[in-house]
Amino acid sequence: MKPATESGTKPATDRDPRAAGSFSGLRRLKGLGPVVALVLLCIAGGLLNPDFATFDNMMNVLTRTAFIGIIAVGMTFVIVSGGIDLSVGSMAALIAGTMIVAMNALAAGAHPPSAPVIIALGIALALAFGAVFGIAHGLLVSRGRIEPFIVTLGTLGLFRAVLTWLADGGALNLDFALSEAYGPVYYQSVLGVPVPVWVFAFVAIAGAVVLNRTAYGQHVQAIGSNEQVARYAAIRVDRVKVLTYLLLGVCVAIATILYVPRLGSATPTTGILWELEAIAAVVVGGTSLRGGAGRVMGTVVGAILLSVIGNILNLTSIISVHLNPAVQGVVIIAVAYLQRGRR
């Protein structure tokens, strides 16, 4: 005779496996929520304005999504690990400013290198700055034991203040010849698809593989679920956190590399509210703000969904386009409310 449990129910090994299957199916169904919302939103956009459904407009939406989407991929890792980064917009602005200053200085030298060499050096500098900023955040959070909110709130002001000082309160403009040579990085298309969209797709696929198919990705999720248990499991928590913020810094640098040739300038207002858009994309995509689990592909859908909302507002004038950040703020609050208690 089998012993009964204290509650009088069957032991866990005797429970109906269909219950677990139903739970998994429900989770998969919930995971499709952002995709369903995006499809319905696209249908509504096409009905409100026929220009919305054109190929050119779709490519425009995806190109504008690329900047925030790439940053949001890195932000997914940070939020899944239980952290946050409020400085990504200011970081992008400072990286753009230092790129422009360095490239202009090289072009103005007595024996300047060719434009492609200068651009390559500018790109390398941007990646280096993104990595350094990310490592600094990671060390302050992990070794300094300072809350990520406080660290990145401080660097948010620091980065933008330094850029404002470099620009003397105005704008930093890229040399005209360099701007002409650099322009194709943003404006060129491959097989009809703009270069930023290809880069966004590559970063998203790589991020999904790293998060879901590598030991590092599993460690990131374990730390976000329970950092103390992760330490007991011999996970090198501090190292993983530093690598996570490093990854986000590199993603910010990649987005900035694609953004600079768009306007060829950096100002104190560059990147404002990018952190809001990146965090919104992550939470709309299904990643819990409590950390522990997340999906890069959900983040991609969330980023596109937010861009589609902005595009529909531009095309239909339902409400002022100046209220787009307000819409994103409402989305963050609403999704956070729906996620309450979720782990």
Res 329: pLDDT: 76
What's the one-letter identity of residue 77?
A: F
* Closest-CA residue to 261 (of 165, 151, 59, 118): 118
Cβ partners under 8 Å of residue 209, min gap 6: none
List the helix and strand counts (H, then E) for the chain: 15, 4
Neighbours of 180 (CB within 10 A): 13
Cβ partners under 8 Å of residue 260, min gap 6: 96, 99, 100, 122, 174, 182, 266
Sign of the C-alpha dihedral computed for residues 134, 135, 136 and 142 taken in this order:
positive
Q: What are phi and psi of 87, to 5 degrees?
A: -105, 5
Res 211: pLDDT: 93
- What gap in Å lies between CA 106 and CA 258, rounded to an integer? 20
Q: In tens digits, what is the pLDDT along the chain, a chain of 343 residues?
A: 444 444 444 444 444 545 445 444 545 555 677 788 888 888 888 888 888 888 999 999 999 999 999 999 999 999 999 999 999 999 999 999 999 999 999 988 878 889 999 999 999 999 999 999 999 999 999 999 999 999 999 999 999 999 999 999 889 999 999 999 999 999 999 999 999 999 999 999 999 999 999 999 999 999 998 889 998 988 999 999 999 999 999 999 999 999 999 988 999 999 998 998 999 899 888 888 888 888 899 999 999 998 988 888 888 877 777 777 787 778 778 777 776 655 4
Return the axis-axis angle of helices 88-107 and 237-263, rounded to nearest 10°.
Answer: 60
3-state class (DSSP) for residue 172: strand
Torsion of CA 265, 63, 281, 328, to 10 degrees: 70
Res 13: pLDDT: 45
Beta bridge partners of 193: 190
Beta bridge partners of 172: 266
CB distance 270 to 96 below 8 Å: yes
Q: What are phi and psi of 184, to 5 degrees?
A: -60, -20
Record the tokens describing residue 50, joined without a space. Answer: 């026929």
Res 312: pLDDT: 85
Beta bridge partners of 81: none
Neighbours of 38 (CB within 10 A): 18
CB distance 80 to 148 below 8 Å: no
Beta bridge partners of 265: 173
